[in-house]
Structure 1
Amino acid sequence: MANEAKPCPCDIGDRMDYGGLGQEVQIEHTKAYVVKPSSASDKAIIVIQDIYGWQLPNTRYMADMLAANGYIAVCPDFYTGKEPWGPSHDWSKFQEWLEDRKPTNINKEVDAVLRFLKEQCGAKHIGAVGFCWGGVATHYLTLQYPDVKAGVSVYGIIREREDRYELKSPTLFIFGEKDDIIPLDQVSALEAKLKEKCTVDYQVKVFPGQTHGFVHRKREDINPTDKPSIQEARADMLNWLNKYM
């Protein structure tokens, strides 16, 4: 049962009815959704899931969009078979659920995916895009992995690491103005500290009126007033990757 007194603010939004153009493969100890562009490419993006898991159709739609723009896209199961969060779960137990699914404890999976992309896909330029939980994970990758040449963290930031402003790769941070999970004071603090400590290119962009999940959990056709922001954020993501990869 969901906790009605304290419902999960990380609403699933508009769940797409979408099958995906790629295929599921085994990558060492975990599974992944992989989709390749129509012509050969040596550029790849690790697409990192939100709390609803690697099989969420919305995330696969984003992977397919990246592939349509010339990137090999791989969306691994970073929970390695553990149950993703669900809309009916009790939000009061979220921290307990998160304990063995921390977005900063993914080195084994990242290492496996990097090997797969380099050895089996011929990738020479690798970036990362993540949403919510995956936004935090993307922030982590841009701190820890020089092989990741560019990152786009969509409504996700690391809060607890001392080195969280010392980016190694150019990173775009996208937020919604009305995000209850990441309030604007945290966004402002991030931007101020990056300005002080970061030595690589970065951008922090806030979309007026938008809530958590707007880039990948809303659809232009059923959220017409949000359509400009959705499309602009997705274009920003692609432009950032194109610039640095």
Structure 2
Amino acid sequence: MTDQPTPRIDAAAIDADLWCLFDQYVHGDIDRRRFLERAAGFAAASGMTATALLAALSPDFARAQKVAATDARLATRFVEVDSPAGYGKLRAYVARPVQATTALPVVLVIHENRGLNPHIEDVTRRLALANFIAVAPDALFPLGGYPGDEDKARALFAQLDQAKTREDFVAASNWARQIDGGNGKLGAIGFCYGGGMVNFLATRVPELRAGAAFYGGPAPAGQAGHIKAELLLVFAENDERINAAWPAYEAALKSAGVKYDAHTWPGTQHGFNNDTTPRYNAAAAAEAWQRSLALFERTLRS
């Protein structure tokens, strides 16, 4: 007996209230049971069960993979890094082009609130193919790493001591700047939780030259004055939870004289860059990715 393929769903047909409900589920505000209960009406209207609807909304890593883990153009490995102020040790996935003839810029890749899942590993490889050394830490390493299941990963994530986790990312940043084959210039890109972590790192790692924060929370209040990096701030139009904090953060960045570029893509949902789910918006994701690469090219290669 073979597994049934994950059902497909037309993102344009998804009700705005269902997107809000799914966002609550993704960010741990409601559990799976509550989502299924509240999504039953949406599912019935689509001729699906609530379980099938959730499967259609959830990541399909294999279908979306763009760069295979065995791609001969890349060298990949896992490393462990000391983090004395954090959890003691952190683990990161490192990808780099094998044909590099000069020292390369280094970019930290920071995952969403499920740890280093296959999608973020794939994004790390995509960045390496753009001729960067990409380093992707896994916040869940102290709890055993990404468990292979998004629900379990979310549950584990809630158990992290975020003060220690933030220090792990600071340690990862400092290690990445000195990586063999790197040019000593560091950037960071992050998504959702990772976008917020990019904003945080910009306040704690003065050597960070550039940060691309995709729909992430702002830097800690009162800390914008510590930011030296140039920032690209990526927003989805339909993302009230994140967008509500932007006016105050923008005012703080302006007051501190931080160089930044902020863009909101019309018609998009939180997570629109993630091509493993129906929230993916190909046109917006492509433009945001190219803006990110342009930022890193300009700030990290010179």
TM-score w.r.t. the length of structure 2 is 0.66
The answer (yes or no) to whether the contact 1:179–1:211 under 8 Å persists in 2 is yes
Relative to structure 1, the CA distance from residue 39 to residue 224 in structure 2 (aligned partners, 3 Å threshold; closer, same or farther) is same
Note the 1:21-36 alignment, pairs <5 A. Answer: 21=71, 22-28=76-82, 29-36=89-96
The separation in 1 between residues aligned to 2:109 and 2:123, in whole angstroms, is: 8
Whichever structure has more helix as a proportion of its residues is: 2
Q: Please state how far the C-alpha of 1:33 moved relative to its aligned partner.
A: 0.8
Identity of aligned residues (%): 23
- Give the counterpart of 2:275 among 208, 214, 218: 218
Q: Please state how far the C-alpha of 1:138 moved relative to its aligned partner.
A: 0.6
User: Any stretches of 5+ residues in structure 1 without a counterpart?
Assistant: none
Question: Could you say which residue in structure 2 is the equivalent of 1:241?
Answer: 296
Question: Could you say which residue in structure 1 is the equivalent of 2:32?
Answer: 2
Note the 1:1-245 alignment, pairs <5 A. Answer: 2-4=32-34, 13-17=58-62, 18=65, 19-20=68-69, 21=71, 22-28=76-82, 29-37=89-97, 38-40=99-101, 41-54=103-116, 56-82=117-143, 87-88=150-151, 97-98=157-158, 100-102=160-162, 105-158=165-218, 160-164=220-224, 166-182=226-242, 184-195=243-254, 197-215=255-273, 217-218=274-275, 226-245=281-300
Relative to structure 1, the CA distance from residue 102 to residue 27 in structure 2 (aligned partners, 3 Å threshold; closer, same or farther) is same
SS of the equivalent of 2:241 reads: coil
Q: Please state how far the C-alpha of 1:170 moved relative to its aligned partner.
A: 0.7
Q: Any idea what the Cα deviations from partners look like across 1:198-232, whole Å, max 9, x if unmatched? A: 323111111111111111x225xx86992211111
The answer (yes or no) to whether the contact 1:103–1:133 under 8 Å persists in 2 is no
The separation in 2 between residues aligned to 1:137 and 1:224, in whole angstroms, is: 22
The answer (yes or no) to whether the contact 1:34–1:73 under 8 Å persists in 2 is yes
Structure number with higher relative contact order (C-alpha < 8 Å, ≥ 6 residues apart):
1
Q: Please state how far the C-alpha of 1:109 moved relative to its aligned partner.
A: 4.2
The separation in 2 between residues aligned to 1:173 and 1:75, in whole angstroms, is: 20
The separation in 1 between residues aligned to 2:161 and 2:127, in whole angstroms, is: 26
Counterpart residue type for residue 88 of structure 1: D
The answer (yes or no) to whether the contact 2:112–2:194 under 8 Å persists in 1 is yes
SS of the equivalent of 1:106 reads: helix
Q: Please state how far the C-alpha of 1:77 moved relative to its aligned partner.
A: 1.4
Counterpart residue type for residue 202 of structure 1: Y
Q: Please state how far the C-alpha of 1:131 moved relative to its aligned partner.
A: 0.9
User: Any stretches of 5+ residues in structure 2 without a counterpart?
Assistant: 1-30, 39-55, 83-88
The separation in 2 between residues aligned to 1:225 and 1:144, in whole angstroms, is: 31
Counterpart residue type for residue 136 of structure 2: C
Q: Please state how far the C-alpha of 1:167 moved relative to its aligned partner.
A: 2.1
Counterpart residue type for residue 226 of structure 1: N
Q: Please state how far the C-alpha of 1:234 moved relative to its aligned partner.
A: 0.7
The separation in 2 between residues aligned to 1:207 and 1:157, in whole angstroms, is: 17
Relative to structure 1, the CA distance from residue 12 to residue 166 in structure 2 (aligned partners, 3 Å threshold; closer, same or farther) is farther
Q: Any idea what the Cα deviations from partners look like across 1:83-133, whole Å, max 9, x if unmatched? A: 659643698xx7x95363427842244324523541534431111111111
Larger-Rg structure: 2
The separation in 1 between residues aligned to 2:229 and 2:221, in whole angstroms, is: 17
Q: Any runs of at least 4 consecutive aligned residues in structure 1 with deviations exceeding 4 A, and if so which?
A: 83-87, 222-225
Relative to structure 1, the CA distance from residue 209 to residue 58 in structure 2 (aligned partners, 3 Å threshold; closer, same or farther) is same
Counterpart residue type for residue 33 of structure 1: Y
The answer (yes or no) to whether the contact 2:206–2:226 under 8 Å persists in 1 is no
SS of the equivalent of 1:208 reads: strand
Cα-Cα RMSD: 3.2
Q: Please state how far the C-alpha of 1:165 moved relative to its aligned partner.
A: 5.8
TM-score w.r.t. the length of structure 1 is 0.80
Relative to structure 1, the CA distance from residue 49 to residue 176 in structure 2 (aligned partners, 3 Å threshold; closer, same or farther) is same
